[in-house]
């Protein structure tokens, strides 16, 4: 079995694995004894001190309580997204959010303005320092994990964070895939594994198939806006309503009080994972709030949130073409999976006892360290194959999408298809790159447009344009268009300015299912009209040829009648009817085509002698 190995030149650099989380982040390293966490867990909070320097982790979390306008948290939720995507979060975030150029989010933190990748870079830099302190040498390379459902923009934003932090991100690995590695499930000969990852701000579920040391992600699903934060926010809203009722004062606008309440709510939630009863308390400006909270009540309150995770699980099984009985192992990842209700729901759905032996907060970082070991050449016989969550293609005639890489295709992936021109002498070709599951351009998401220019002027249909889609191991798409005759080539790396919301991603998949029959029917109609356009254009050209005038009048009349009948049904929604009249016109012009061929051959041979 082959092994990934990277030659770094000179002395090999240590490659660390990093879990850049919504709530907490960790760094780990693979040594001779196995993967281990380096340093403490780092809260994913960044603050700006009064002197303008940055505080990260515990110190920043403390500043969040006393100076909430100087701190930022949950920046992972903002990675690769636009201002319009985060309207709900704006009600809860204490920091000011605005849109900059190309809709990139900008955060006002103290006196500084930062983008989400810059916030992530501060956390990564802190983890880099921890690793260097423990390993005793400079660390410049890392494997960083991302939710499996992150799209191109969100993955690119994560890579940008690494670059800003001075780290060469060798690979982005899906968090569920990393979790399977951490549990050593790659040591099985065969198996199908479900990884349920409910963290602070994101939810992922992946179905992995293991065969002879190769991990292949059969399907992935999830919600980039679902996690423990939603439970926290629900409890905070309830507590704020209680306080407003008891004190006769609404403290929702007081960020210092809200952040203090948030810390106490999270502590109470965590206690209920192992105790049946706890209290939420708040002492603020001489007033005290206390509310008793039982596990039973908590579970009743958060059941809708937990149920939201089960839909993507069922969809993932369906995409993988599997039933729950075919799942061999289930792995739980993320701090929110400590909640007994979550474990009970997963156990009931998959009809199996999930793995919970490892610390759910550490398991992703440990798996990233294993993959780092693979890339450094220290771990053999492990190969990871991830998938792309949405189909990718280009626009063709009639506003139809030609899908080159289909949803849940294994990555890295490379697909090349040939296309041609539709106009005589066409010199430029517009390549329109799209993402989505629908059949028509108008229903899919536009990712990029670029032109292949200065083509040799040829008759329509003779040009050969090769379009190549290549997705690298990090899920970043590169599109190349090349003229096969001249070698003229243009390449674009698809980097959207911001990503899809979770609702848009889910809607794209659900709409493709709901409208599948209508979409396919409309695609057939459009393709039939494109074929009719080509036929009508060919006939118009033929009528200028001398061969048309040599046809008997009856045949010209029959061809003209068939042409007019095709024009009459052209706008019909019945593709069978359009195709039938195309065939009728084709039959009526058979003699015309033969005459044109004979005329062309005679012209080519005129003046030639046979010795």
Q: Which pLDDT value is given to residue 3?
A: 30
Cα 235 to its chain centre, rounded Å, is: 30
Main-chain phi, psi angles of 13, to 5 degrees? -85, 145
Average pLDDT over residues 253-265: 88
More confident residue, 440 or 382: 440
- Confidence bin at 6 (pLDDT 50/70/90): very low
Q: Which residues are catalytic?
A: 19, 76, 175, 197
Q: Which pLDDT value is given to residue 296?
A: 95
Average pLDDT over residues 218-244: 89
Any idea how long the chain is? 611
Q: Which pLDDT value is given to residue 591?
A: 77
Q: Can you point out the beta strands (E) in 186-247? A: 190-198, 203-211, 214-223
- Confidence bin at 300 (pLDDT 50/70/90): very high
Among 134-148, 294-308, 385-399, 559-573, the minimum mean pLDDT is found in: 385-399
pLDDT above 50: residue 305: yes
Average pLDDT over residues 263-282: 93
Task: State the Cα–Cα distance between residues 578 and 569, nearest whole angstrom.
Answer: 6
Which tokens hold the place of 558? Answer: 């029959």
Average pLDDT over residues 115-139: 94
pLDDT above 60: residue 267: yes
Nearest to 216 by CA among 410, 63, 67: 410
Percent of the chain with pLDDT over 90: 31
For the chain, domains (ranges, CATH) are 15-227+301-387 (3.30.420.40), 228-300 (3.90.640.10), 392-499 (2.60.34.10), 516-605 (1.20.1270.10)
Average pLDDT over residues 331-359: 93
Q: Which pLDDT value is given to residue 18?
A: 97
Half-sphere exposure of 381 (CA within 13 A, CB side): 10
Nearest to 282 by CA among 298, 272, 274, 293: 293
- The sign one gets for the Cα dihedral 534, 540, 546, 551 is positive
Percent of the chain with pLDDT over 70: 84
pLDDT tens-place string over residues 117-126: 999 999 999 9
Among 128-142, 149-163, 315-329, 383-397, the minimum mean pLDDT is found in: 383-397
| Residues 6 or more apart in contact with residue 564 via CB below 8 angstroms | none
Average pLDDT over residues 201-205: 83
- Confidence bin at 498 (pLDDT 50/70/90): very low
- Confidence bin at 506 (pLDDT 50/70/90): low
More confident residue, 21 or 493: 21
pLDDT above 50: residue 329: yes
pLDDT above 60: residue 563: yes
Q: Which pLDDT value is given to residue 447?
A: 80
More confident residue, 528 or 138: 138
pLDDT tens-place string over residues 11-53: 456 899 999 998 899 999 998 888 999 999 999 999 999 888 9
Which tokens hold the place of 523? Answer: 């695609």
């Amino acid at each position: 079995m082959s092994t990934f190995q990277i030659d770094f030149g000179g002395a090999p650099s240590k490659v660390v694995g990093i879990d850049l989380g919504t709530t907490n982040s960790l760094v780990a390293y693979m040594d001779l004894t196995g993967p281990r966490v380096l340093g403490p867990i780092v809260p994913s909070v960044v603050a700006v001190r009064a002197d303008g320097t940055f505080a990260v982790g515990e110190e920043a979390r403390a500043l969040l309580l006393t100076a909430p306008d100087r701190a930022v948290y949950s920046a992972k939720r903002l990675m690769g997204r636009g201002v319009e995507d985060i309207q709900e979060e704006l009600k809860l975030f204490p920091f000011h959010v605005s849109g900059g150029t190309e809709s990139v989010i900008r955060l006002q933190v103290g006196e500084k303005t930062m983008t989400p990748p810059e916030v992530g870079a501060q956390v990564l830099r802190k983890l880099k320092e921890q690793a260097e302190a423990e390993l005793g040498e400079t660390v410049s390379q890392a494997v960083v994990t991302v939710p499996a459902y992150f799209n191109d923009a969100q993955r690119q934003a994560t890579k940008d964070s690494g670059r800003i932090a001075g780290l060469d991100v060798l690979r982005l690995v899906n968090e569920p895939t990393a979790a399977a590695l951490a549990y050593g499930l790659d040591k099985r000969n065969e198996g199908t594994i479900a990884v349920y990852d409910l963290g602070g701000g994101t939810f992922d579920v992946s179905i992995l198939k293991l065969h002879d040391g190769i991990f292949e992600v059969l399907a992935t699903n999830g919600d980039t806006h679902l996690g423990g934060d939603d439970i926290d926010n629900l409890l905070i809203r309830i507590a704020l309503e209680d306080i407003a009722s008891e004190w006769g004062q609404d403290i929702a606008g007081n960020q210092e009080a809200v952040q203090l309440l948030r810390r106490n709510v999270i502590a109470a939630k965590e206690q209920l994972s192992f105790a049946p009863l706890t209290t939420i308390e708040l002492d603020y400006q001489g007033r005290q709030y206390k509310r008793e909270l039982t596990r039973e009540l908590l579970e009743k309150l958060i059941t809708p949130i937990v149920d939201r995770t089960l839909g993507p699980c069922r969809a993932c099984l369906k995409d993988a073409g599997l039933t729950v009985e075919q799942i061999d192992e289930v792995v739980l990842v993320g701090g929110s999976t400590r909640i007994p209700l979550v474990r009970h729901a997963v156990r009931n759905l998959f009809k199996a006892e999930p793995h919970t032996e490892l610390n759910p907060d550490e398991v992703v970082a440990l798996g990233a360290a294993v993959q780092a070991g693979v890339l450094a050449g220290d771990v053999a016989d492990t190969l990871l194959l991830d998938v792309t969550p949405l189909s990718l293609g280009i626009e063709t005639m009639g506003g139809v999408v030609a899908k080159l890489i289909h949803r849940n295709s294994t990555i890295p992936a490379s697909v090349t298809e040939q296309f041609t021109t539709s106009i005589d002498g066409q010199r430029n070709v517009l390549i329109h790159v799209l993402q989505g599951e629908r059949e028509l351009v108008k229903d899919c998401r536009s990712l990029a447009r670029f032109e292949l220019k200065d083509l040799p002027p040829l008759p329509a249909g003779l040009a050969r344009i090769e379009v190549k889609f290549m997705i690298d191991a990090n899920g970043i798409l590169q599109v190349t268009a090349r003229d096969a005759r001249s070698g003229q080539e243009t390449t674009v790396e698809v980097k959207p300015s911001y990503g899809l919301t979770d609702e848009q991603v889910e809607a794209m998949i659900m709409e493709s299912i709901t409208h599948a029959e209508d979409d396919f029917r409309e695609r057939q109609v459009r393709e039939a009209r494109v074929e009719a356009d080509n036929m009508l254009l060919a006939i118009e050209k033929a009528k200028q040829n001398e061969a048309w005038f040599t046809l008997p009048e009856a045949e010209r009349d029959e061809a003209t009648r068939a042409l007019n009948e095709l024009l009459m049904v052209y706008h019909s929604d019945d593709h069978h009817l359009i195709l039938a009249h195309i065939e009728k016109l084709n039959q009526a012009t058979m003699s015309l085509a033969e005459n044109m061929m004979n005329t062309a051959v005679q012209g080519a041979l005129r003046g030639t002698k046979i010795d």
